[in-house]
Amino acid sequence: MSVVLIVEDELLELEFLKSIVAEELLPKDKIITCESGIQAVKLAKQYRPDIIVMDILIPEMDGLQALQEIKKFLPEACVIILSACSDFSYAQTAIRLRVQEYLLKPIKPSVFKQIFHDLLTTVATCQVQTDEEIVEQKTNQIYCIEKSIKYIQDNFKQKLTLQLVSSNVFLNPQYFSRIFKKEVGVTYIDYVNKLKIECACKLLETTNYPAYRISSECGFTDPSYFNRVFVQQMNMPPKAYRRKCLCDSEDKD
């Protein structure tokens, strides 16, 4: 969807611009209009237009001042400036603000229509490219997370730092940590500890190993930390879990 903001204080001129813009837009697109610079800034913040058609001589705040404010939060917006005078200083300011077109009034309908059509095509192309980049980025993120999960599952019994896992998929540790939480639903540490505790539960069920050995077998370097994590996840200490498993097994027999 494209959003167009038209800023013009002369009613006939506004209707003229609006009619041409409407011819080029699709039903899903939106046209917003206003008559002053302050309104323009407010509406730009609210609707974040892709294209702005801005008259210079408007009330409260002139068009170039309004555009300076808008460019602070919408630097990529395409802009057509309309001016009733050929003052070169206006044109210089417009160039500095990276305005796409600077048109002197009166404006021929055919000229404005062609310029607006070209800008709309540019915006549509950029939107498609942005959408493709987002999809590609998402695909790459999913691939990296899937690869890192496989790596974690194969190596969780080793000393497996966040830095080591993130470097395996060539990502910055902070960025990796953020997308891991977003895609998997738990933090990296919680995911690794979950695998370690699942391993510990199996060993408690099937061996007579003491807790400190199970802690080491599952990749914990500190038995007290192992005990704390185990209680957090299983709501009981390792010894109590082993007793419970033995009782459950005897009841079945």
Domain that holds residue 205: 190-252
Asked if residue 40 belongs to a domain, the reply is: yes
Q: Determine, yes or no, domain membership for 207.
A: yes
Residues contacting 145, CB < 8 A, separation 6+: 179, 180, 183, 184
* Domain assignment of residue 65, yes or no: yes
Q: Look at residue 198 in the predicted model and tell me its pLDDT.
A: 95
Last residue of a domain, one of 107, 141, 168: 107
Question: Is 215 among the domain residues?
Answer: yes
pLDDT digits (tens, 9 = 90+) for 45-56: 999 999 999 998
Position 253 scores a pLDDT of: 53
Does residue 118 lie within any of the structural domains? no
Q: Tell me which residues of the chain have a pLDDT lower than 70.
A: 250-253
Cis peptide bond N-terminal to 106, omega within 30 = yes
CATH code, domain with 28: 3.40.50.2300
pLDDT reported for residue 235: 94
| DSSP output for 5-32 | EEE-SSHHHHHHHHHHHHHHS-TT-EEE
Over residues 147-199, the pLDDT tens digits come to 999 999 999 998 889 999 999 999 999 999 999 999 999 999 999 999 999 99
Q: Would 175 be classed as within a structural domain?
A: no
Looking at the fold, whether 101 and 194 belong to one and the same domain comes out as no
In this structure, what DSSP letter does residue 36 have?
S
**Whether 165 contacts 148, CB under 8 Å:** yes
- If one counts the domains in the chain, the total is 2
Tell me the CATH number at 216: 1.10.10.60
Structure confidence at residue 94 (pLDDT):
81
* Predicted pLDDT at 252: 62
In a domain, 148, yes or no: no
Q: Among the residues of the chain, which ranges form H helices?
A: 11-24, 37-47, 63-73, 88-96, 109-155, 162-168, 173-184, 188-206, 211-217, 223-234, 238-252
Q: Of 107, 136, 152, which closes a domain? A: 107
Q: Which of 86, 107, 128 is the last residue of a domain?
A: 107
Asked if the structure places residue 160 within a domain, the reply is no
State the pTM of this model: 0.69
**Single-letter residue type at 83:** S
